Amino acid sequence: MTTLNIHLLFISLRDDHSFGTLSVTAQVTLPASFWAYPTKTPFLPAGPIALPSTEIISSVPMQKIRLVHETDRTHLDKDFIALLESANAGLEEWTPELVGEGEGGTYFMRNLKGDIVGVFKPEDEDPQSPSNPKKNKKVRDEDGDDRDEDRDDDSDESQEKLRTTIPLGTTALREVAAYRLDRGLAGVPVTVLVEVDDWRENGKKKIGSFQKFVPKGAASWDLGPSKYSIADTHKIGILDLRMHNTDRHGGNMLAVALPQKGIEGNTHGLVPIDHGYCFPTSMSEGSFEWFYWPQAKKPFSSEMLEYIQKIDVEEDQRLLKSVGIVEEEALRVNKIATLALKAGAKAGLNLYQIACICSRKVPDALSPLELACGQVEEQMKQKGISSFEEEYWSLLNAKLSELLKPMH
């Protein structure tokens, strides 16, 4: 028990500006438990503290997985941070496992319960990298013997995978750039750049992209185009043109069953994944599975047309730079492709028609858009201007409105 003497002094101000005072002394007796309250935080209420809603607070310390760009978390919500934490906790029990599908190092990560929650793709294990674990993977031949499958050979498969327009070691940040550029339109799953400590218990660190796992997704080419809506196809198409995706085959769109049939008879939604081969340094390798789908020849809806016209090209450039797309040529490809998309949509062209202009029909013949860019560069040369400043863009815009005319 503690006894305290409290002295109170009341001061009153009278109308004639003179003072009156009253002094009171009170005695308070406190129980011993009062002092048991932690002295460092005597004014904290019990329970969680309310924080500003924009702040994302990690309740569990990230021991093994850390966001690489930790300062920029504004686009991440609490659910995703919780998911990242659950993968972090899961590393205590589960070793990330190499996925069978695909050509490079892609690993599933689980939570403590064992559910797959995330997909980790190390920046040094993409299909073209010397550290690609599938590069010399063991395959079983017809006689039942294990042999090394060497993907450095001259087979069509290995040739097909070589990309000259994607700088080595940059696929992870390109995955993140695709998610950020999409801004939720086509539904690229949340993707961030992370660093993982003690990678597969070898004591080393790995940097790579971490993407939210999409449960029950089948490769879209296993089902066929009639299962998907026009809107889903157009959304992925718009994204692919802006990124000049060089790897949009049917395995890189996941088909997820809808709770009920859509009005077009569509039964599945589409989720775009695998964007390491986007934002190339030239427009020579674009490859779009949806190009062959009937949906691509349907006109854009008014919402899609409005979306396309509202795309802020300069804002996109800033965003891409901020996530690490640094090659001037890659940034230029994004800007040219987006301007072409806008001009094409404005002229009433459909996705298929715009894609015909923006991509090569055969690998060795330049696309109409590449030819147009070449002509603009020639004009610049004649004028003695060598940089890609304003003049280039106004000449290009003039060229695009010539090239992307209404078709009947």
Ligand X SMILES: Nc1ncnc2c1ncn2[C@@H]1O[C@H](COP(=O)(O)OP(=O)(O)O)[C@@H](O)[C@H]1O
Which residues bind to Mg ion, rule: CB under 5 A?
102, 252, 274
Residues 111-150, interacting with ligand X (CB under 6 A): 119
Beta strands across the sheet bearing 107-110: 65-67, 191-196, 206-212, 116-122, 107-110, 97-98
Mark the segment that binds ligand X (CB under 6 A) among 15-23, 89-97, 246-254, 315-323. 246-254
The answer to whether residue 213 forms part of the interface with ligand X (CB under 6 A) is yes
Q: C-alpha 163: how far from its chain's center?
A: 21
Which position among 16, 55, 92, 101 is part of the footprint of ligand X (CB under 6 A)? 101
> Could you give the residue ranges of the DSSP H alpha helices within 279-312?
302-310
Distance CA 335, CA 331 (A): 6
Which position among 112, 207, 214, 347 is part of the footprint of ligand X (CB under 6 A)? 214
The answer to whether residue 67 forms part of the interface with ligand X (CB under 6 A) is no
- Amino acid occupying residue 207: I
Distance CA 198, CA 201 (A): 5
Taking every pair of C-alpha atoms in the chain, what is the biggest distance, in angstroms? Answer: 113
The answer to whether residue 166 forms part of the interface with ligand X (CB under 6 A) is no
Q: Name which of Mg ion, ligand X, none residue 218 binds, using a CB cut-off of 5 to 8 Å depending on partner kind.
A: none
Nearest distance, CB of residue 185 and Mg ion, angstroms = 21
Mark the segment that binds ligand X (CB under 6 A) among 75-83, 257-265, 268-276, 352-360. 268-276
For residue 374, which phi and psi values (nearest 5 degrees)?
Answer: -60, -40
Residues 248 and 277 sit within 8 Å (Cβ to Cβ): no
DSSP assigned state of 189 = P
Q: Name which of ligand X, Mg ion, none residue 187 binds, using a CB cut-off of 5 to 8 Å depending on partner kind.
A: none
Q: Name which of ligand X, Mg ion, none residue 117 binds, using a CB cut-off of 5 to 8 Å depending on partner kind.
A: none
Residue placing its CB nearer to ligand X in the complex, 224 or 406: 224
Nearest distance, CB of residue 285 and ligand X, angstroms = 15
Mark the segment that binds ligand X (CB under 6 A) among 19-27, 103-111, 293-301, 344-352. 103-111
Residue placing its CB nearer to ligand X in the complex, 99 or 313: 99
For residue 178, which phi and psi values (nearest 5 degrees)?
Answer: -65, -45
Distance CA 290, CA 246 (A): 13
Distance CA 73, CA 149 (A): 41
Binding site for ligand X (CB under 6 A): 99, 101-104, 106, 119, 189, 211, 213-214, 217, 251-252, 254, 273-274, 276
